[in-house]
Amino acid sequence: MPKPYPPEFRRRALDLLESGRSVREVAASLGIAESCLHRWKRRDLIDRGLKPLSPAEAESVALALARGRIAELENEVKILRKAAAAVEQVVPPKARFALVAELAVEGVPVKQACLTLGVSRSGFYDARIRPPSARAIRQAWLTDQITAIHQASRQTYGSPRVRAELVQAQGVVVSRKTVAVLMQRAGLAGLPLRRRAKRVPASVTVTDLVKRNFHRDRPNQLWVTDITGHPTREGKLYCCVVLDAFSRRVVGWAIDSRQRADLATSALGMAIDSRGAAGQIPDGIIHADHGTQFTSWTFTERARRAGLLPSLGTVGDPYDNAVAEAFWARMQTELLDRQRWRTRVELANAIFEYIEGFYNRHRRHSTLHYMSPIQFETTHPSSPISSPASP
């Protein structure tokens, strides 16, 4: 079954339409059906409130929202029931009476609140008219004294120093545990000392599983990835790509104004979603340089979850990632350096169209016997890969 186009692909296609290009022109450039592009455009206008829903669509949306809300409420009820059962085990009834009183002020019926929290209504009403005990009066007085001491210490004292102040300065007989409990109930806490950070030994770096041998005879055996940046008048724009070494096809990409780990992770996620079966690329290799984006936990964990083996070349050697470097050199010559770019959006749309509309579909590659990456994949006997399609 053909896989749907990634959300980023759809967004960039719509950006091309907003730049003044016709539906026919964009559809032909990207190799997608005009009807598919019309659906994306209509849905985008509806989502932005620029086009009203038809009565049938409005009813369908309202029904879906209602069902979603019902499911949320059912889950909340399950959670509350379990929470109430846990409260019954650890919170005494007198404390639960206070919760019932708070809920009653908020408009919750006393009967329902008592039933949910596991207390009797008669016990709740008796507690409201019963005078406070000597213990409760003492605890209230102690709480006032503790609060005053805590404020006088500039909110720095914890229970040991607060108790010391009570015992030594005021002659109050009280245990440290009682002071700690009353401070917790009053929401008071001391300032902890700043702990020294532990020095963790550096983890063993990922090894180079490629050794500059980029030839592969099947798709998804080896992916290479890298990031490049290019200036605009608004500032730099960064692009990360994932290429399949078998066909040199860009199978994943991401574009952002910042060069962070999630840029590389997003590009890898697009590649996994578009090429993997059930999100898995068994025995595949993802090869990169030693950039922090590719050594980050989020990137390596995303790769491992998909069954990919991370591989890193040596530091500062571009030949260890020659396939990715060659792609950037081509794009630099054929797109980036041909004009000055005004905005990041303008450049992002141009990169998108270059990758999806020209490079993957039409650009002939000498390594592929002068076929385009998609043409090579569709004609090679060991390649079951097909282009994604809209649902």
Where does the pLDDT of residue 143 fall: very low under 50, low under 70, confident under 90, or very high at 90 and above?
very high
Q: For 186-208, write each residue's pLDDT tens digit.
A: 999 887 765 655 554 444 457 88
Q: What's the topology of domain 222-378? A: Nucleotidyltransferase; domain 5 (3.30.420)
* pLDDT of amino acid 192: 75
Domain ranges within the chain, ordered by starting residue: 7-48, 55-129, 134-186, 222-378
Where does the pLDDT of residue 391 fall: very low under 50, low under 70, confident under 90, or very high at 90 and above?
very low
* Predicted model pTM: 0.58
* pLDDT of amino acid 270: 94
Answer yes or no: are the C-beta atoms of 387 and 4 closer than 8 Å. Answer: no
Query: Which of the given ranges, 85-89, 91-95, 149-153, has the highest pLDDT on average?
Result: 149-153
**What is the per-residue burial (b if ≥16 Cβ within 10 Å, else e) of 37-60?**
beebbeebebeeeeeeeeeeeeee
Q: For 69-79, write each residue's pLDDT tens digit.
A: 898 888 887 77
Percentage of the chain lying above the pLDDT 70 cut = 92
CA distances from 170 to 146, 149, 176 (A): 11, 11, 15
* pLDDT of amino acid 47: 76
Where does the pLDDT of residue 390 fall: very low under 50, low under 70, confident under 90, or very high at 90 and above?
very low
Percentage of the chain lying above the pLDDT 90 cut = 37
Q: For 306-330, write each residue's pLDDT tens digit.
A: 999 999 888 777 788 899 999 999 9
pLDDT above 80: residue 51 = no
Length of the chain equals: 391
* pLDDT of amino acid 203: 47
Residues 218, 251: Cα–Cα separation, whole Å: 14
Order of all β-strands in the sheet with 249-256:
249-256, 235-244, 222-232, 285-288, 309-312
Give the least confident one: 92-96, 133-137, 236-240, 241-245.
92-96
Number of other residues whose CB lies within 10 A of the CB of residue 274:
18
Q: For 259-306, write each residue's pLDDT tens digit.
A: 999 999 999 999 999 887 777 888 899 999 988 899 999 999 999 999
At position 323, the amino acid (one-letter code) is V
Residues 300, 287: Cα–Cα separation, whole Å: 11
Average pLDDT value for residue range 355-371: 90
| Average predicted confidence (pLDDT) for the chain | 85
Residue 247 exposure: Cα atoms within 13 Å on the Cβ side: 27
CA triple 94-97-103, angle to 5 deg = 155
- Which residue in 293, 275, 279, 271 sits closest to 226, CA to CA? 293
Q: Counting beta carbons within 10 angstroms of the beta carbon of residue 383, is it exposed (0 to 12), middle (13 to 18) or buried (19 or more)?
A: middle
Q: For 210-231, write each residue's pLDDT tens digit.
A: 888 999 989 999 999 999 999 9
* pLDDT of amino acid 279: 76
